[in-house]
Structure 1
Amino acid sequence: MTLLAKALVALVALLHAGFLVIEMFFWNTPFGRRAFNLTPDFAAQSAVLAANQGLYNGFLAAGLVWSLVAPKHLAVPLQIFFLGCVVVAGVFGAATAKASILFIQALPAALALAAVWWTRERA
């Protein structure tokens, strides 16, 4: 696997670890409200839902980290699966919640997926 593909997978994992932290621990703080453009009332009412969403982002990050340390025969299939999940989640989020999710979540995952796929084809 190329260094570029690994770096992009790691970037997507890092993004999702960051989403976990914000959604689970900082959602109802000035930083979290600013990051997601939330009113204090909405942040308070949706904090439990955000924590659940953050947990799912953590699972995606964990899967991507796993794919980076997995044996070679598992790495690419794991990356394709988890990056595909991120792309689908990003497209769905962009369609149903906020268009910028397409660029913040789906685009980095799609670029990483393309790099992994290209590397797989070259091997």
Structure 2
Amino acid sequence: MNTVTNLLIALVALLHVYFLVLEMFLWDKPLGLKTFRLTPEFAAASKALAANQGLYNGFLAAGLAWGLCLGTPGYAIKIFFLACVVVAGIFGALTVSRKILYVQAVPAIVALGLLTLA
């Protein structure tokens, strides 16, 4: 169970690295425009905000990686950062798109559940 849980936590961390790349570097590129359904004008106007948002996703990924590197002593760190991901995913689902709930919050909720059971 520990291995599966840690693999899922690693997947959540990698998703947030991907979000960082999308928001910080690809926001106004074809993949970013398609992913977020943006017009080039809106992407250009909101590029700095997206980069800031991407940086926060990087912090979530770093926190999860930190917890994974610590092993058992990282339990509380994993709980904290997974909870942050869940809150961010729920907020995003309520304010931006319901899709965020499934892409961001659900994997973190499953990982959080497995972690508390392990």
Smaller-chain TM-score range? over 0.9
Instruction: Tell me by how many angstroms 1:71 deviates.
Output: 4.6
CA distance in 2, matches of 1:37, 1:66: 33
Residue correspondence of structure 1 range 48-87 to structure 2 within 5 A: 48-73=48-73, 75-87=74-86
Corresponding pairs, count = 118
TM-score normalised to structure 1 length: 0.93
**Counterparts of 1:29 and 1:71, CA distance in 2:** 38
**CA drift at 1:35:** 1.1
Residues 64-121 of structure 1 deviation map (CA, whole Å, 9 limit, x = unaligned): 0001001522x110110000000000000000111100000000100110111111xx
RMSD of aligned alpha carbons: 0.9
Where structure 2 has 5 or more consecutive residues not aligned to the other structure, the ranges are: none
SS for the counterpart of 2:8 is helix
What's the TM-score, normalizing by structure 2?
Answer: 0.97
Structure 1: gaps (5+ residues)? none
The 4+ residue runs of structure 1 with deviation greater than 2 A are none
Answering whether residue 45 of structure 2 is matched by residue 37 of structure 1, we say: no
CA offsets 1:27-53 (integer angstroms, 9 cap, x no match): 010111011111111111110000000
* Distance of 1:4 and 1:77 partners within structure 2: 18
SS of the equivalent of 1:84 reads helix
Which amino acid letter does the alignment assign opposite residue 35 of structure 1? T
What's the counterpart of residue 91 of structure 2? 92
Aligned residue in 2 for 1:109:
108
AA partner of residue 5 (structure 2): A
